[in-house]
Amino acid sequence: MNKLFKIVAVLILCAFGGSSLSAFAADIFSKKEREIFDKTMSAARNNDPATYAVLLDHIEETEAIFRELFDTGDAAAARQKVLDLAGKYAIPTLARASDETTVALYAPVRIVIEVLKIHKPEGCKQYLYGQFNINFLDNPVLTAANKYFSDTILETYSSGKKNTQTGTLLTEDQLADIMVENLGISEEELEKLEDLSAISDADACRLAAKFYDHQRIPEVHRAAYLRTLVFAQ
């Protein structure tokens, strides 16, 4: 099972770069660069505060991404650079967050999964594979779910900034035991994640919900499970 752990859902990362850059792509050549930059940062602050916090904390790198975007017009590359920025700074910070703020993430994650299941089931598959190409802004229900998630993860991110050490992590054996014994995830289900074409949208939503069914995880391990699954490097 070890080879499968890095393929398993990376839901939390979706908050970073999930909607911010798409908001200005259409009018990028019709406004002055600073106006576009300010408008985009304002949109991030309102719609995706977790993204905004990371961009603001690393403003020089953020501005460099925008400068390259203005030069090339390549919004897809810029969006990927925002995701890379998150991976570089946000994920280690989130790994240092308190148990309390980490556990608080389960509720908005489950809500996002349920909303995707109804309104955009292909999004569940993208989440499972870390492909964050979902536009939350085209559906008010999705927008609201993502905003709740982003507000919550901002609290987790803020907590991690106050700490210097990574929180408690599980071993791979402990993680496997929870997946199989507590969450009822089978070897067959995990193997499906090795091949994108082998899993349907419906199965992806069902599996995503299973991975984050925290009520079935022993309370003592809930924070460490989520931290290990999503934030461990």
Opening angle at CA 47, ends 153 and 41, nearest 5: 100
Please state the φ and ψ torsions of residue 139, each to the nearest 5 degrees. Answer: -145, 120
Number of H helices, E strands in the chain: 13, 0
How confident is residue 2, by pLDDT bands cut at 50, 70 and 90? very low
Predicted local confidence at residue 129, as pLDDT: 66
Answer whether 4's CB lies under 8 Å from 180's CB: no
How confident is residue 77, by pLDDT bands cut at 50, 70 and 90? confident
Nearest to 226 by CA among 75, 105, 57, 54: 105
Once rounded to an integer, what is the mean pLDDT over residues 97-104? 97
Per-residue pLDDT tens over the stretch 6-43: 333 333 334 444 555 555 544 544 457 888 888 888 88
Predicted local confidence at residue 27, as pLDDT: 52
Predicted local confidence at residue 130, as pLDDT: 57
Predicted local confidence at residue 21, as pLDDT: 53
> Of residues 210 and 73, which shows the higher confidence score?
210
44-48, 116-120, 144-148, 227-231, range with the lowest pLDDT:
44-48
| CA of residue 117 relative to chain centroid, distance | 17
220 pLDDT more than 90: yes
Predicted local confidence at residue 168, as pLDDT: 96
Per-residue pLDDT tens over the stretch 42-64: 888 888 888 889 988 998 888 88
Predicted local confidence at residue 163, as pLDDT: 94
How many C-beta atoms surround the C-beta of residue 206 within 10 A? Answer: 15
Task: State how far the Cα of 171 lies from the Cα of 178, in Å rounded to an integer.
Answer: 11
Mean model confidence pLDDT for the chain: 82
Nearest to 65 by CA among 81, 89, 54: 81
Percent of the chain residues past pLDDT 90, beyond the cut: 37
Predicted local confidence at residue 123, as pLDDT: 85
Task: State how far the Cα of 9 lies from the Cα of 202, in Å rounded to an integer.
Answer: 15
How confident is residue 133, by pLDDT bands cut at 50, 70 and 90? low
180 pLDDT more than 80: yes
127 pLDDT more than 50: yes
Task: State how far the Cα of 143 lies from the Cα of 136, in Å rounded to an integer.
Answer: 5
The burial of 169, by beta-carbon neighbours within 10 Å (0-12 exposed, 13-18 middle, 19 or more buried), is given as middle
Which tokens belong to 143? 């927008």
Answer whether 120's CB lies under 8 Å from 208's CB: no
